[in-house]
Structure 1
Amino acid sequence: MNRAEREAAVRQIMERVPSPVPPDVHTDAVRRGERLLRRRRLARRALWLLACAAAVAFTVWAARVHPWVEPPSQTTPPVTGW
């Protein structure tokens, strides 16, 4: 199929009269779209809540454990009576 034939085929497809759409398709699409938006909103809120809870848990853990402090050495005995 050369370019002129492809263009003619595309024009023919585009000039066709679209098939009729059932009247209840719009209401079904709106209802499904609203349901999808509600689910996405709920999932987004749950993920934000989870992220905030993880941040709070990490902050509390870091405040109690102090992971940035080097632990004392256990290999050398303490010097006493010096």
Structure 2
Amino acid sequence: MNRAEREAAARRIMEQAPPPVPPELYAEVVRRGSRMLRRRTAARRLMWLLLFAATVAFTVWALTARPWVEPPSQTTPPITGW
């Protein structure tokens, strides 16, 4: 087959009416699709919740530990009584 014949055959296949879908198959597909969407939505909400909890935990830790402040030096005692 040359290119023109292949294109014509592909057009004939695409222009044909699709075979009818059995009603029980359609109901099953809708049920599975809605279940998949519910699971995907629940997973997305769980991930946002975990991200929010991690952000809150990090913020609380940073405010209590204050990692940006340099700790006082412990090598020499403070000079008093001069």
Same fold (TM over 0.5): yes
Which stretch has the larger CA shift, 17-26 or 1-10?
17-26
| Equivalent residue, structure 2, for 1:62 | 62
TM-score, L = length of structure 2 = 0.79
Q: Is the aligned partner of 1:53 residue 2:44?
A: no
Aligned residue pairs total 82
Q: Secondary structure at the match of 2:70?
A: coil
- Note the alpha carbon deviations across 1:28-70, whole angstroms, 9 max, x for none: 1110111011101110111111011101100110011001112
Residues 44 and 15 from structure 1, CA distance in 2 versus in 1: closer, same or farther, beyond 3 angstroms?
A: closer
Number of the residue aligned with 1:44: 44
Name the CA distance, whole Å, in 2 between partners of 1:52 and 1:17.
50
Percentage of matched positions with identical amino acids: 70
C-alpha distance in 1, partners of 2:4/2:76? Answer: 88
Mapped to 1, the partners of 2:75 and 2:44 lie a distance apart of 50
Q: Distance in 2 between matches of 1:19 and 1:64?
A: 66
Residue 32 of structure 2 corresponds to which residue in structure 1?
A: 32
Task: State TM-score, norm by structure 1.
Answer: 0.79
Which 5+ residue runs of structure 1 have no aligned equivalent? none
Match for 2:13: what amino acid? I
Amino acid at match of 1:61: W
For the aligned residue pairs, the C-alpha RMSD in angstroms reads: 1.9
Cα distance in 2 between the residues matched to 1:52 and 1:11: 52
Range moving further from structure 2, 49-58 or 17-26: 17-26
